Structure 1
Amino acid sequence: MPLRMRLGVDDLLRCRFAVSPLCQTHEALRMLRRPERHGYHRPWLRRMRAAVAELDLSRMWLFMPPRGGYTPDFLGAPPDVPSASFADELARMRSTDPALARAEMARSLTCTPGAARSPAGRQALADPARTVQELADLTERAWHALLAPHWAGVRALLEADIAYRSGRLAAGGWEALFADLHPDLAWTDDTLIHSTPHDFPGAQQADGRGVLMVPSVFVWPDVISGFAAPWQPTVIYPARGMGALWQAPAAKAPSALVRLVGRTRAAILSDLEGPSSTTALAHRHGMAPSSVSAHLSVLRDAGLLTARRHGHQVLYERLPLAVALLGAESAARG
């Protein structure tokens, strides 16, 4: 039975987006656990092979069923602010009520036959406070080994997705927002419907808390929803552009454009398939953000780009003149 989440007026007023480094860390670990999620991340996986080998993830795997199922919500709890630091989120995880942690861990263990009766499962449930701290320690090591070195680029992509989704919501309401968010999500009659192979009895009420929308680079091809009380109802969905996150820019700038604006500016202009920040472009091109910023300023002053602020960063997009310049050489060949 699909999950049906009814949203009242108060819920619609309190729906928001957020970026969560803790959520991204646990989705990255869950991605390692589930090969069907590996596709877009093979370049990152190759680079992280040694780091992954040094992490003993057996305790974490206990609560991440390999074929799907429930993972304790406190491992990647819905963030309570739009853009928390990893340190703040980790501290919040460490403060989890042991009784709540035990209940969620027990529910998770039932998804893997025999896990609750295994020595590791019994030990985890016998001392949930200690287990929370052990899982937090492992999460911290995973963050620093796997995600922290790449966080600037990942965060820029997530914030660009939020800017796009916010625009969809402003232009067409909730129906427009969910139209291309994920094939398993639909919006009808003030109800968010998540088609999922897992059973959710009845409808979940947001009770005026709204729904938290959290983009993720690691959750594809899935979408995750639910989160029982005391957590805010949350939807974790694949972020736009995550397929190109670990790839070097593939587009080759037209030679005429290179002669006109220079090789570096032409490469940046060619790479701007969608809204992007200075940080994200610097990450993809292996350049210092200050250098990219200088080139973007020149392109903007030339009428090739537009810039708009979203949160604490500025997103750049091509203007029609840039699109025409990029297409001029192929048109001439045709």
Structure 2
Amino acid sequence: MLVRYVLVGQDLADVRFAISPFNEMVLSLRAWRDPGRFPLHLPWIHETLRARHELDAETLSALANERLWTPDFLNPRPLSPVTRIEDEFASVATTPPAVVARDLRMLHGAAYRPPPLPRIMSALTGYWERCFAPHWPRMRALLEGDVTYRGREMAHGGLAAMFAGLARQVSLVGEVVEVQLRSNVTYTRATTGGLTLVPTLWTANASTPISPEEPPMILYAARGIGTLWEPQPLPSPGALAALLGAHRAGLLVQLATPASSTELAARLGVTTTAVNQHLRALRAGGLLVSARHGRSVLYRRSEVADRLLAGAG
């Protein structure tokens, strides 16, 4: 019912924030089990329904149980706010078979026969590519905003104020961080190597690894989840909008960093077909360049577009 992380020595200053795309992907599987528990994510759930029929649903469904627990080995501790999904996939792929079996049996019972790790990794790769990657930039922006907010809170009010603001289940008592859990997990351990705080879009309560053998980590609900799937406004400089039209000018503003048509459509709340029409016109006019990245085509502004925006700005 209670996990205590004892901050010792330098660990008092070694509280870090990090973001894990792998954690977010795995925790989102809770919505497969019980979509009614995630009403704020219904737009994403509806949009990914068709893709899910083409995935290894049997394996993916086994990665969360009826209580919406997920196995510890699929919730790796991220190292920074800019953790790469490729690095996390590579790390999880080296998990010993005994650990895979132990963690999955903690979810489903001692008689459960877990799928082999290569099958799990293959299922998750397909899930990431079809259901998660197109939406990850939008999710990441919200999570990064939360980390920035917590950093300011810690700078202005100190560690105790920051911990108290994470979740009602989390508090700092002296040099001990206490996390109240709904499960029957209870343990106390020192935060050797530091304590990592990870915002997530897929929990309403703070949570920690089930096993005390796992690195110290607290997952907590990020701020602003209710705004995540709202269509974003499409800003565009007035002069450029008059020349190109508001939608195309707005897309040029969005494409300061590369993005796919699917990602842009999800971000803006429009159809991929509509976005593609504008992207093709902008590319034909020399304002965009494109390059294939895996299964996606990424678009970004050309130097000509950069100069246009600078002049209009």
TM-score, length-scaled by structure 1 = 0.68
One-letter identity of the residue aligned with 1:167: R
Rounded to whole Å, the distance in 1 between the matches of 2:36 and 2:164 is: 24
| Residue of structure 2 equivalent to 1:50 | 50
Rounded to whole Å, the distance in 1 between the matches of 2:187 and 2:118 is: 34
Change (3 A) 1:213 1:36: farther
Q: Alignment partner of 1:54: what SS? A: coil
CA drift of 1:285 comes to: 7.4
Contact 2:73 2:92 (8 Å CA) reproduced: yes
Does 2:224 align with 1:224?
no
Q: Alignment partner of 1:95: what SS? A: coil
CA drift of 1:180 comes to: 2.2
CA drift of 1:202 comes to: 4.0
Number of aligned positions between the proteins: 269
The structure 2 residue matched to 1:213, chosen from 167, 183, 197, is 197
| Residue of structure 1 equivalent to 2:220 | 237
Change (3 A) 1:65 1:153: same
Q: Alignment partner of 2:79: what SS? A: coil
Rounded to whole Å, the distance in 1 between the matches of 2:199 and 2:16 is: 11
Q: Deviations over 1:211-260 (max 9, x none)?
A: 111111222x232213535532111111112211111148xxxxxxx9xx
| Residue of structure 2 equivalent to 1:133 | 118
CA drift of 1:22 comes to: 0.7
Q: Deviations over 1:252-278 (max 9, x none)?
A: xxxxxx9xxx997xxx9xxxxxxxxx7
Change (3 A) 1:203 1:138: same
Rounded to whole Å, the distance in 1 between the matches of 2:157 and 2:309 is: 35
| Residue of structure 2 equivalent to 1:74 | 73
Contact 2:30 2:68 (8 Å CA) reproduced: no
Contact 2:32 2:61 (8 Å CA) reproduced: no
One-letter identity of the residue aligned with 2:147: I
Give the 5 Å matches for 1:254-293: 283-284=267-268
| Residue of structure 1 equivalent to 2:59 | 59
Q: Alignment partner of 2:211: what SS? A: coil
Contact 2:97 2:117 (8 Å CA) reproduced: yes
Rounded to whole Å, the distance in 1 between the matches of 2:170 and 2:32 is: 25
Change (3 A) 1:284 1:235: farther
The structure 1 residue matched to 2:130, chosen from 122, 126, 145, is 145
Instruction: Give the unaligned 5+ runs of structure 2.
Output: 251-255, 276-298
| Residue of structure 1 equivalent to 2:284 | none
Change (3 A) 1:202 1:67: closer
Q: Alignment partner of 1:138: what SS? A: helix
| Residue of structure 1 equivalent to 2:105 | 106
Rounded to whole Å, the distance in 2 between the matches of 1:137 and 1:21 is: 16
Rounded to whole Å, the distance in 1 between the matches of 2:176 and 2:190 is: 10
TM-score, length-scaled by structure 2 = 0.72
> Identity of aligned pairs, percent?
28
Rounded to whole Å, the distance in 2 between the matches of 1:14 and 1:284 is: 38
| Residue of structure 2 equivalent to 1:31 | 31
Q: Alignment partner of 1:243: what SS? A: helix
Rounded to whole Å, the distance in 2 between the matches of 1:229 and 1:197 is: 16
Contact 2:21 2:83 (8 Å CA) reproduced: yes
Query: What's the C-alpha RMSD, in Å, of the aligned pairs?
Result: 3.7
Q: Deviations over 1:264-300 (max 9, x none)?
A: 7xxx9xxxxxxxxx779x73477998689959x94xx
Rounded to whole Å, the distance in 2 between the matches of 1:145 and 1:226 is: 28
Change (3 A) 1:93 1:28: same
Rounded to whole Å, the distance in 2 between the matches of 1:200 and 1:227 is: 6
Q: Alignment partner of 2:134: what SS? A: helix
One-letter identity of the residue aligned with 1:17: F
Q: Alignment partner of 2:183: what SS? A: coil
Rounded to whole Å, the distance in 2 between the matches of 1:174 and 1:196 is: 21
Rounded to whole Å, the distance in 2 between the matches of 1:154 and 1:134 is: 26
Rounded to whole Å, the distance in 1 between the matches of 2:150 and 2:49 is: 33
One-letter identity of the residue aligned with 1:135: I
